[in-house]
């Protein structure tokens, strides 16, 4: 049930219904009474955000990065660059006259919990974009219980609005490309947090496994190497691979930062890229075009995802999207081929 349903029942525009919710003193008494009667007939209950708008909309949204425990504070959504995402959200919110608030959420930090709770309970922002790594993040449950407008960025979550990269498809296409252009021992450096495989990484691993199976290549445990999300970790993981029982002829890294460490390790060992080992990164950062050799990487439509998440959030805030009309989208990626895999024009797959 949305204000559009109320508007149809009352025979007015949804903007007029919104005005009754936000500034009833500005609506003629007879019109207001007609709308209020329609609300009663439909048993329409305004959301927390709509009730807060009766005071005054803040025209602010919060971007909240869920970073787990305080001891894990270094893991600020390492699979996507936090600074770049904030810049993208700032760009979009500025275009629409909204103010952007940035917060961090640590479930075991009372100060962090208090800051987020006050944002929601006092309606200091109109809505929230949550960068979460786990479907069971307690902040998701809290926002749902309070019926506060929010969108999850980077994680597919049943029962919530979300914008997410097509993680499985991204790695599937990269491995498929490598296999179809000659690689036979393809390693996967999977990012982990505290030794556990996050859902996004699990999806990437699924794409890796399925592409290998399609190419008739075995899934070898010794070619799947955990790392965190740093260049140093990529460097260590690559040296471990090179000293292992099977030397890979291609490496798919968790992200570009990890891939930079891979390239350094291969250089240190005197291994030529791409002649001996080919390398693929993830995120297609600006720096990837300037490594030696330049890095083949998976491009992510970050700005498109940000626009989608913001537009969805505004619809929820304004009551033009029903609570059960979930906006859930997986965004396709693109493999950008450069020198680290051989820029010979073979990237186009049918």
| Mean pLDDT of all residues in 273-287 | 96
In this structure, the number of other CB atoms found within 10 A of the CB of residue 213 comes to 11
Which of the four pLDDT bands, split at 50, 70 and 90, describes residue 343? low
Q: Phi first, then psi: what are they for 257, rounded to 5°?
A: -60, -45
Which of the four pLDDT bands, split at 50, 70 and 90, describes residue 71? very low
Q: Pseudo-torsion of CA 75, 192, 305, 22, nearest 10°? A: -50
Give the ranges where 96-249 is alpha helix by DSSP (H): 110-121, 138-145, 167-180, 199-215, 231-242
Distance in angstroms (rounded) separating the CA atoms of residues 70 and 209: 33
Which of the four pLDDT bands, split at 50, 70 and 90, describes residue 1? low
Q: Quick: pLDDT tens for 140-178.
A: 998 998 889 999 999 999 999 999 999 999 999 999 999
Which of the four pLDDT bands, split at 50, 70 and 90, describes residue 76? very low
What is residue 62's three-state secondary structure? strand
Q: Quick: pLDDT tens for 95-113.
A: 999 999 998 887 777 777 7
Q: Quick: pLDDT tens for 205-238.
A: 999 999 999 999 999 999 999 998 899 999 999 9
Q: Quick: pLDDT tens for 38-58.
A: 888 887 766 544 444 445 667
In this structure, the number of other CB atoms found within 10 A of the CB of residue 21 comes to 23
Closest CA to 164 of 202, 127, 113, 190: 202
């Amino acid at each position: 049930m949305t204000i559009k349903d109320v508007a149809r029942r009352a025979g007015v525009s949804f903007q007029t219904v919104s005005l009754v919710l936000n500034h009833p003193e500005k609506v003629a008494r007879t019109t207001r009474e007609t709308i209020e009667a329609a609300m009663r007939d439909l048993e329409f209950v305004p959301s927390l955000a709509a009730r807060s708008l009766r005071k005054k909309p803040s025209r602010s949204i919060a971007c909240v990065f869920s970073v787990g425990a305080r001891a894990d504070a270094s893991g600020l959504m390492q699979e996507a660059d936090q600074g770049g995402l904030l810049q993208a959200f700032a760009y979009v919110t500025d275009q629409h006259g909204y103010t952007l608030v940035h917060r961090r959420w640590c479930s075991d930090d009372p100060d962090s919990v208090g800051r987020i709770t006050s944002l929601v309970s006092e309606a200091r922002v109109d809505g929230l974009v949550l960068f979460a790594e786990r479907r069971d993040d307690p902040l998701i449950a809290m926002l749902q219980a309070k019926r506060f407008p929010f969108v999850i960025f980077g994680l597919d979550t049943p029962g919530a609005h979300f914008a997410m990269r097509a993680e499985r498809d991204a790695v599937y296409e990269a491995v498929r490309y490598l296999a179809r252009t000659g690689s036979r021992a393809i390693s996967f450096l999977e990012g982990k947090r505290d030794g556990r495989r996050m859902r996004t990484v699990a999806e990437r691993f699924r794409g890796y496994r399925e592409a290998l199976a399609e190419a008739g290549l075995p899934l070898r445990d010794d070619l799947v190497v955990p790392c965190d999300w740093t260049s140093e970790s990529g460097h260590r993981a690559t040296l471990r691979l090179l000293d292992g029982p099977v030397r890979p002829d291609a490496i798919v890294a968790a992200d570009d930062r990890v891939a930079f460490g891979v390239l350094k390790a291969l250089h240190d060992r005197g291994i030529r890229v791409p002649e001996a080992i080919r390398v693929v990164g993830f995120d297609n950062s600006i720096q990837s075009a300037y490594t030696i050799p330049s890095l083949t990487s998976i491009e992510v439509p970050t700005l498109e995802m940000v626009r989608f998440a913001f537009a969805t959030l505004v619809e929820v805030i304004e009551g033009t999207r029903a609570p059960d009309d979930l906006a859930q989208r997986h965004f396709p990626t693109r493999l950008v081929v450069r020198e680290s895999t051989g820029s010979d024009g073979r990237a186009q797959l049918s």
